[in-house]
A and B are shown apart, each in its own frame.
Chain A
Amino acid sequence: MTTIEIDHTSRWFGNVVAVNDVSMTVGPGVTGLLGPNGAGKSTLINMMAGFLAPSTGTVTLDGTQIWRNESVYKAIGIVPEREGMYDFLTGREFVVANAELHGLGDAAAHKALATVEMEYAQDRKISTYSKGMRQRVKMASALVHDPSVLLLDEPFNGMDPRQRMQLMELLRRMGAEGRTVLFSSHILEEVEQLASHIEVIVAGRHAASGDFRKIRRLMTDRPHRYLVRSSDDRALAAALIADPSTAGIEVDTTEGALLIQAVDFGRFTVLLPKVAREHGIRLLTVSPSDESLESVFSYLVAA
């Protein structure tokens, strides 16, 4: 089990604070590092990858400092965001070179190329590759030494939907195998589809942590919207609005449902079934209508 621990870490460039007193633990499974562009995601990943020193705080891999410690790369595989990657080499030459730098041979390179399904183009120069192919070869270079930690900076940028799906499948598999996989993204649906655990960075600060529904619940001061269908919508609406956990209820006659705005998540989830039972009302549908990551994220960014 491999864990990256970020402890009260800040990083500034001149008088610009890129990462501000962030503490988080990244363990096995797939973790999504979510935040808008310029939030400090790359800075954070660069510190985890040992390419940047923290200004204060520590970034460690199983208790060992990462910065200025080449031995951590035995356990870490990195897929950088930047495109520079020895374009004059073929895909195979590139991955073989990466394997050799780990003290490994052609077999490891071949296995990694097979994992990312790039054998068919391995003898073409990297300069002729599409964005998705480059990304997969980068991935192969990060996997040659079978690392227990995989760090990926915006891995889905510029990929077409099919390539995106393939890479997601691969990362899911890596996570299920017990590897610590961390990827950054500013695209909410990517994180929602892939990550079992989410860390949200907004303006250099650690805004939230947990699975996506937990993050949503953390925002207790934010209204939650529910779509509810019942055997008697109006009676249910009247009973619910009496409680302070509900801020507003709209009777949507075309949908045949209630749109409820709850301001106290915890209280509301207890209240709803209780009220329904007391009034002999049957609940037919209870669904959060804005539990998409998009809405969670816009709350967090606005906060």
Chain B
Amino acid sequence: MNYDIQKIRSYFPVLQQKIHNHPLIYFDNAASAQKPVQVLKAEEQLHNHFYGNIHRAAHFMADKATGEFEAVRTKIQHFIHAELREEIIFTKGTTESVNLVANSFGEKYIQEGDEIIVSEMEHHSNIVPWQLVAGRKNATIVQLPFTDSGELQLDVLEKRINAKTKIIAVAHVSNVLGTINQVEKIIKLAHSKNIPVFIDGAQAVQHLPVDVQQLDADFYAFSAHKMYGPNGVGVLYGKRKWLDKMPPYQGGGEMISEVSFQKTTFNEIPYKFEAGTPNITSVIAYGAAIDLMDETGLQNIGRWEQNLLNYATSKLKEIPGMKIYGEAPEKSSVISFTIKNIHPYDVGMLIDKMGIAVRTGHHCADPVMQHFNVPGTIRISFGMYNTTEEIDLFMEALKKVLAML
């Protein structure tokens, strides 16, 4: 495989540093990814040359910034193969994207007694916004369970869909189990009953090519910071037919067409959903992260990470008492595990002393922890810059930690 790992690593200066006198090994990519120089340079260039508020003024600076900002919208459109650029809405992150749909779609389409199907493996941010809207509307959340290997039970889904079901919310990839869910099948099944589907793609878009038209997703959300982009920016893709009909989420500048104290008319999509000055800097720098992924090729990144996943999984399985959570046949590069009855916090603390960043705890997915009846797990998750050599060092460190505990 033609994958120039040294070149890729050279884009991430953070990886060159030492933590507690050990070279940094960053295995917490599912929480947030590191930022390449391209992203930092894009921010710098904007501030040094053409920063201005967008969509408003006639001057050069504003015009240039607007052009760059809107160019990123088009980049995202192509990145996820959306039909229209207007279907790309910038938000603060996946969480805000979920809240936007839960509130705005919920306001118009969810009534008393209705049901919202949410999968058991969701991140809290794809559960709580739905619970809030269900609470306001006296609607019910219906759970879509998963099996012990970490696969959604589609036969159960079929039984739980009924005339009261208004929307289905499910992750493309689980942040704990790594399962790549069969969202295409779920969407097909839902659409056969005229039910729209919201996909949380926060753990998917950086690992595998996504085509929202092929999936036929009604809504698809993700965050820039997990895709080597800046913090504070996310995307909501929505089919025009829904976005046009949904009421605005927040009021303010930009989202209006005309305002008087008698009546305000709203702007067209996407602006209808982008009230106020957006995160101009981060959106523009996000474009550089998309460019890097496009240049490297998501297929190549995915293949590289699959290799890391397989390598690490087989190494971990050599450890006595190892339990891996999530063993679906289609998995992304996330491994959650526990060893005997050792508390994840102890492992996380000690391994940090050897310069290795892992995640420990419930990963904002309490229902997944409840499913397996564990207080938490240790999670390692890989990105485009990780290597098998790092996995070897991690294994050595893990064995040292286990000898201490």
Decide whether A and B are members of one complex.
no
